[in-house]
Chains A and B, each alone.
Chain A
Amino acid sequence: MQVTHWDLALLQAINEWLASSQERFLIALNISDRWPWIIIACSFCGLWFAGTSSLLAKHPGGIVRMIARRYLIQVCLLFPMLFILARLVQQPVSHVRPLALEGILDIPLPPRVWEPVVHSLQVQGSFPSDHAVVFGMMIVLMARIRTAFAVVALLVSTALLLLRVGLGFHWPSDVIAGLGLGMGTTWLMTSPRSMRVMSGVHRRVLDFESMRPRIFYLVALVFLIDLSQKFAILSSMMSAGSRLLGGSGT
């Protein structure tokens, strides 16, 4: 895939600001590694308990907990599918990450710190950004629940995604495509029609939560812990499973 002029110009402008101080670059590196996933896990957790448990909101524009929970269940069901979809698109579209190209980025870190970062990211494609897909999903989820939340989500997402561009993990076009994919899919999946179609599933999940809260929240905890580390447990289980299947086949 061809790199456009504006892609390069925007990337270099953000990178120049970020690389002007080694400390700033290191902080950005630490934040962009794990914090997006922790923020998303905390947002899920907060939204689940937001609002009033009654059938009507306390004040106009307030949140009714049951409605927020239905949207959240819908998004949790969509989440793995979106993640897999982003990875599937990444496979055929060959878009080299900016950090893999020499001479376009200013990196104020010693090679022993920076090289492991480059190696860890080179195995995965760049287009679209899976972080952007997930943030696009969060923005639409928040917009469905409360507009003010969506504004906060948009600001946080923009800041974190700009950091990833400035660090050379993604081109701006990867981020825009990711946001578009995440927002579009979530908008469709949380439309009134889709919510009606899935209402039976939502009811079952909510019934299970009220009847077996201990089991429900135990599973939720494991899901959120795994989400906060970008599904590391799930990925290792899947790769172990595929190794096992591959091994038994030979």
Chain B
Amino acid sequence: MQWLLFCAIITWQWFAESPDSLTDATALVLLALALHPLVGILDLTGEHKALAEYQALWTSGILWTLRHRKTLLPWMVLGLIMSIVPLSGAGWAPSGLIPRVLVGIAVGGMALLLAEPLKRFTRNLPALFEFHGWVLYPLSFLMLLDVRQNFLWLDGLYAFMFDWGAR
């Protein structure tokens, strides 16, 4: 459910009136894809991986939004509230919550560093989506589908790339 909400927010932002929104939302999805393996490494306890990642994504989203003062903020606050509510049995125990928040802050900080280069990269996206939407929107849908299933395909892709690199 958390991931479905995240996908919903991205879509909501994607089709907002301002072209900046599409850039921001796409940057956030790209950030999610880029940070995915990093969160796995940074996960301090090795437990509650999905929640740690989720928390990290929301935290980075909030920091990103604060920096750019975009309308994404209310959604991100809602996301933060949802992410600290014990949804998948992790509970309020400090052993579960503290690592998640720590990872969130660490990755969120990194997101701030990445914000400007990403923004430059995604600036031309609205024009690209206008002319090549027939292929870019299905690809984005596949990305959201993978976000929703907690990066199952991305994990497979990374594993394949590591295997291929090792050979």
Interface of A toward B, CB cutoff 8 Å: 38, 41-43, 45-51, 213-214, 216-218, 221-222, 224-225, 228
Contacts and interface: CB of A to CB of B under 8 A. Distances in A.
Given A214-B15, A216-B15, A217-B11, 9 more contacts: A42-B142, A45-B137, A45-B141, A46-B134, A49-B137, A50-B134, A214-B12, A217-B12, A225-B4
B138 A42 contact: yes
B109 to A, nearest CB: 30
Chain B interface bracket (under 10, 10 to 19, 20 to 34, 35 or more):
10 to 19
21 contacts: A38-B145, A41-B141, A42-B138, A42-B141, A46-B135, A49-B133, A49-B134, A49-B136, A49-B137, A50-B134, A51-B134, A213-B15, A216-B15, A217-B11, A218-B8, A221-B8, A222-B8, A224-B141, A225-B144, A225-B148, A228-B145
Nearest to B13: A214
Contacts of B14: 217
A216 B14 CA distance: 12
Contacts of B110: none
A236 to B, nearest CB: 13
Interface string B1-37: 0001001100110111000000000000000000000
B144 A221 contact: yes
A218 B12 contact: yes
Interface of B: 4, 7-8, 11-12, 14-16, 133-138, 141-142, 144-145, 148
A236 B138 CA distance: 26
B145 A47 contact: no
